Structure 1
């Protein structure tokens, strides 16, 4: 049977609150440090053009039902033609672009700076939490949870008799690490509040891959089934008028 614990207020004052405050301050400090380390590069005209082509193709897919089938087919050929379509990328050009992207020293340096600004603060913070606050039960969630959440909420506590709703200090650190995006959006702005989950997902890539994005958008535009919505709109309008007349 799960045991109910009475948490000391000193744990709140010396464990829970300091952990939360330190995580917020480290997130803000990491944002400004990464901003200072970021190198200023002029946007490539070719990359901007390819990005605009992708946006136009997506708009065509989204509004395909509002234009006739003949007009849609003409626009789709304009984008997906194998000879001179805007979305068509030859294999040689795609391989050269990928090789150039991996061989660019500035891009590799920027990626290394991002990784350092992400890994070093979190490694030091986790070592600090693990050394000073290991084994503490820091908080309790005000609603019941199943046993599947025990590994996520009670990291560092090897007691199966403790109720699942209790959160250890180490788990509180991870919850703050992946869940402070809302607070950062209020402090730094919505565009700057990229949470650590998204940063970790971006650590393995080098940014925008134009050839891959163009190929994916070309495949999406090729398989779309056109269905003109204007006849249905006229039918719906007639039905509405009939109901109003009745």
Structure 2
């Protein structure tokens, strides 16, 4: 049977609240540091018109692939051929151009430096914060979720506490750190606006992307995705569904 705990108010005053305040302040500070980095000439070069045009082509082709079921098959095939045909399709990239783009991406030191700066703006503060939490607040039960949870949430909410008898709804200080790390996006949107640089979850996923988005290389990948898609127009299914609903209503 799960054990019920009575949390001391000192834990709220000296663990829960300070940890939350520090996480918010670090996010706000990192936002302004990122803004300063973006204002520097080296961090914000003038965009290449060719790369911007290729990026817009990728976005349009992706929208076609995502919403293909809402247009007839004939219209989809015409648009697909406009993007993917081997002669003058917008997504067709010769092998020589793709190899040159890949070589230029890996040989550009400025691009590698920019990616390093962006990653360091997230890695360094969060590493120091985690070390601070792990050193001073390790083993604390910081809060209690006001609703029951299943045993599957134990590993997520009680990181750092090796007690299987404690109720799952209790949250350790280390888990509270991770909940703040990935759950403060809404608060930062209210404080800093929608276009803020503090979305840690998105940044962590983008860190695996190497040197970032390259439109020229993305053209070929989007072309392959558009080639293998199977078109299935949704309107006939909707009409049949509407007929079935009408028949059931008429029977009643």
TM-score where L is the length of structure 1:
0.85
Unaligned 5+ segments in structure 1 are 238-242
What are the residue-to-residue correspondences of 1:53-64 with 2, within 5 Å?
A: 53-61=57-65, 62=67
| 1:144 Cα offset (Å) | 1.6
Q: Does 1:113 align with 2:141?
A: no
What are the residue-to-residue correspondences of 1:43-82 with 2, within 5 Å?
A: 43-61=47-65, 62=67, 66=71, 69=74, 72-82=76-86
Q: Does 1:29 align with 2:25?
A: no
- Please name the residue that 2:19 is paired with: 19
> What is the CA–CA distance in structure 1 between the aligned matches of 2:21 and 2:56, rounded to whole Å?
42
| 1:64 Cα offset (Å) | 7.2
- Please name the residue that 2:134 is paired with: 130
1:23 touches 1:176 (CA, 8 Å); kept in 2? yes
Taking a change above 3 Å as real, the CA distance of residues 84 and 122 of structure 1, as seen in their structure-2 partners, is same
- Please name the residue that 1:155 is paired with: 159
| 1:11 Cα offset (Å) | 0.9
| 1:217 Cα offset (Å) | 2.3
| 1:101 Cα offset (Å) | 1.0
- Please name the residue that 2:203 is paired with: 199
> What is the CA–CA distance in structure 2 between the aligned matches of 1:63 and 1:57, rounded to whole Å?
10
TM-score where L is the length of structure 2:
0.83
| 1:191 Cα offset (Å) | 2.2
Structure 2 counterpart of 1:210, from 212, 215, 231: 215
Structure 2 counterpart of 1:169, from 167, 173, 177: 173
Taking a change above 3 Å as real, the CA distance of residues 232 and 151 of structure 1, as seen in their structure-2 partners, is closer
Instruction: Give 3-state SS (helix, strand or coil) of 1:83's partner.
Output: coil
| 1:148 Cα offset (Å) | 2.1
CA RMSD of aligned residues (A): 3.0
| 1:199 Cα offset (Å) | 0.7
1:179 touches 1:195 (CA, 8 Å); kept in 2? no
> What is the CA–CA distance in structure 1 between the aligned matches of 2:22 and 2:136, rounded to whole Å?
13
Taking a change above 3 Å as real, the CA distance of residues 6 and 42 of structure 1, as seen in their structure-2 partners, is same
> What is the CA–CA distance in structure 2 between the aligned matches of 1:44 and 1:64, rounded to whole Å?
34
